[in-house]
Chains A and B, each alone.
Chain A
């Protein structure tokens, strides 16, 4: 399996750094940014299999960041991870296109498995899209 690229977005830099270090220790490639704005720049420059996004951040908040990220990369799999979780926020995130909504503190293994699920889903979606594209191309070419 190819390397798993994860972007961690959290204004708690200490948390983000530690999480990234642990992920890197497990063989993932994790990068950190500390605001929504930086996250948008990051996702537009590189490809990530999953984004771990904090909900409550100064400036652009998690939901807003999520929406904008998806506007840039619709197939991006975003896991919201928050210490300020409420059901409403969770449902709002899911409706806005988040892959998962998780609450801090979280067991590292749970997070890892969600990241893996996100990657599988992204791959499935990509495959589907590729299939659609090929079918579309075949149809257009009249074969």
Chain B
């Protein structure tokens, strides 16, 4: 039996073998470029965040600081103004002039007209007794001798008190001015001022959002109302930084809930007051998220785009790689298969060769028996012996057909490649058959176009091809017929050989079967394998074989061969 190599088709190895390797490779292909692209992006975003946070912090500090200094300035001015007025009164008026309730009342009225927030006015003598008083309360004759402020004012000449309720039952504070007489005696001019004065300075300023500003004394008691910390005279749990004196101090503190408080302290000179301003804002990160949504959106979009692109590209690359790997595996497998078939072919050829010699001996021995039996006179069972010998000879014929096919098969399994000049190859083939041509007086013309390129192919198999085709032509032509062989260059990578005979031609119905295995028009004489094997070889060598024929018109076989076979 002929075995078509295509029947035992190569089965490529499973290309998905080694999948974890591809998964790992793909992972690397995703992670490394993603990191390369994302890290600078994230660093940029981080830099932006830091700058933004710094700007945001300094902005809050600046707002508080501005508020503090403006308010402090106006407060100081208001207090200074009142102190100056009282000092002026104490200096310009004689004691006698002031030692008069009506006069005091007149002054108080003037003060109220000018400033509005003076509540009462009193004159206290050196013994601490309020000898004259103008105001809504019955405080004439009150004795302040043991009060700390009285000592303070007698020592320093000026005194501004904390805010307190005192006898008057509403928050107020006191400004007292001491004046020394020529005789060493002194008196004190004491004015009570409504806390409104302080509040007005604070509220007069436009407050920034979510901010609070108030005044406390050095003991942490509220001197004005606070939006966050309570009413006047409530105690506030604030740590006033020590030694603030004339400076401003800004502190920042994180609050629970992601907010941040900026707090500023400023002492009001010449008073016990400390001005406090504070603002609560979102923590800088929250603020950044909110304010820089464009940056963040850009960042997220970039991350998504990078990941998607990298992931798709890596998938593409991996699938290409996988494809080429599987192609290579298939090629290796094919090579392995080809080697196997070549080995099988060599084995088949070797067996055939080894069998041929003993077969020839059997053939000749049997022939000799027949020769002897034929020439001998009659002897018992002579006919029987001759017919037995004939059947041996027939079997030998059958065996030799098998070995010839095996040889042909073996030869075709192994393709060698060498440079071949087609013209000389055909000349050799014709030479091989010249005795037949000479006997039958067949004319053979070989024509070759000038400069037909040599081709890379298998010499023996190509010889087989043209031997088969030319044998067919011999079989087709009458004695004295003509066979034309023409060799031409079709293009840079293809040559053509046409074998034309002027023989009987082929019927159209046979023409379509001519390359089928076991198809023969020669009856018993042909094996029906010649042309199917020829076509098989031509195609395996990368060529094409075609036939054109008609009854009485002769036959043309055309073989196109590549100059170099492309796998």
Chain A residue at minimum C-beta to C-beta distance from B416: A88
Q: Chain B contacts of A117 at CB under 8 A? A: 435
Known contacts A103-B356, A105-B400; A12 and B361 CB within 8 A of each other: yes
Known contacts A14-B361, A22-B371, A103-B356; A87 and B463 CB within 8 A of each other: yes
Known contacts A86-B411, A103-B356; A91 and B429 CB within 8 A of each other: yes
Interface residues on B, range: 35 or more
Interface 1/0 per residue, B352-373 and A, CB below 8 Å:
0111110111111101100110
- Inter-chain CA distance A90–B431, complex, in Å, is 10
Cβ of A18 under 8 Å from chain B:
yes
Q: Chain B contacts of A87 at CB under 8 A? A: 411, 460, 463-464, 467
8 Å CB interface, A55-111 against B = 56, 83-88, 90-91, 94-95, 99-101, 103-108
Instruction: Choose one: A12, A21, A91, A104; the contact of B432 (CB below 8 Å).
Output: A91
- Inter-chain CA distance A83–B363, complex, in Å, is 13
Interchain pairs with CB closer than 8 A, number: 87
- Tell me how far the C-beta of B361 lies from the nearest C-beta in chain A, rounded to whole angstroms: 5
Q: Report whether B356 and A22 are in contact in the complex, using a CB–CB cutoff of 8 Å.
A: no
Instruction: Choose one: A19, A26, A56, A86; the contact of B364 (CB below 8 Å).
Output: A19
Q: Report whether A15 and B431 are in contact in the complex, using a CB–CB cutoff of 8 Å.
A: no
Cβ of B540 under 8 Å from chain A:
no
Q: Report whether A25 and B375 are in contact in the complex, using a CB–CB cutoff of 8 Å.
A: yes
Q: Chain A contacts of B357 at CB under 8 A? A: 12, 15, 83, 104
- Tell me how far the C-beta of B406 lies from the nearest C-beta in chain A, rounded to whole angstroms: 12
Known contacts A87-B463, A88-B459; A12 and B360 CB within 8 A of each other: yes
Cβ of B407 under 8 Å from chain A:
yes
Per DSSP, chain B at the interface is: helix
- Inter-chain CA distance A104–B435, complex, in Å, is 19
Q: Chain B contacts of A94 at CB under 8 A? A: 428, 431-432, 434
- Inter-chain CA distance A100–B375, complex, in Å, is 30
- Inter-chain CA distance A21–B428, complex, in Å, is 35
Known contacts A18-B365, A22-B368, A86-B407; A105 and B360 CB within 8 A of each other: yes
Known contacts A103-B356, A105-B360; A85 and B407 CB within 8 A of each other: yes
- Inter-chain CA distance A1–B20, complex, in Å, is 86
Q: Report whether A91 and B463 are in contact in the complex, using a CB–CB cutoff of 8 Å.
A: yes
Chain B residue at minimum C-beta to C-beta distance from A101: B432
- Tell me how far the C-beta of A8 lies from the nearest C-beta in chain B, rounded to whole angstroms: 11
Instruction: Choose one: B353, B429, B432; the contact of A83 (CB below 8 Å).
Output: B353
Which of A85, A103, A104 is most buried by chain B, counting CB atoms within 10 A of its CB? A104
Known contacts A84-B356, A91-B432, A94-B432; A18 and B361 CB within 8 A of each other: yes
Known contacts A22-B371, A84-B356, A91-B463; A108 and B432 CB within 8 A of each other: no
Known contacts A86-B407, A86-B411; A105 and B362 CB within 8 A of each other: yes
Interface 1/0 per residue, A109-122 and B, CB below 8 Å:
00000000100000
8 Å CB interface, B21-44 against A = none
Q: Chain B contacts of A85 at CB under 8 A? A: 407
Chain A residue at minimum C-beta to C-beta distance from B365: A18
- Tell me how far the C-beta of B392 lies from the nearest C-beta in chain A, rounded to whole angstroms: 11
- Inter-chain CA distance A82–B355, complex, in Å, is 12
Cβ of B404 under 8 Å from chain A:
yes
Q: Report whether B464 and A21 are in contact in the complex, using a CB–CB cutoff of 8 Å.
A: no
Q: Report whether A86 and B371 are in contact in the complex, using a CB–CB cutoff of 8 Å.
A: no
Interface residue ranges, A against B (CB under 8 Å): 12, 14-15, 18-19, 21-22, 25-26, 56, 83-88, 90-91, 94-95, 99-101, 103-108, 117
New A-B contacts (10) at CB < 8 Å, excluding given A12-B360, A86-B407, A117-B435: A18-B361, A25-B371, A25-B372, A26-B371, A85-B407, A91-B428, A104-B359, A105-B362, A106-B360, A107-B397
CB-defined A-B contacts under 8 Å, sample of 14: A15-B357, A21-B368, A22-B367, A22-B368, A26-B371, A83-B356, A85-B407, A87-B464, A91-B463, A101-B432, A105-B397, A105-B399, A106-B363, A108-B367
8 nearest interchain CB pairs?
A83-B356, A104-B360, A105-B363, A18-B364, A105-B360, A84-B353, A88-B460, A83-B357
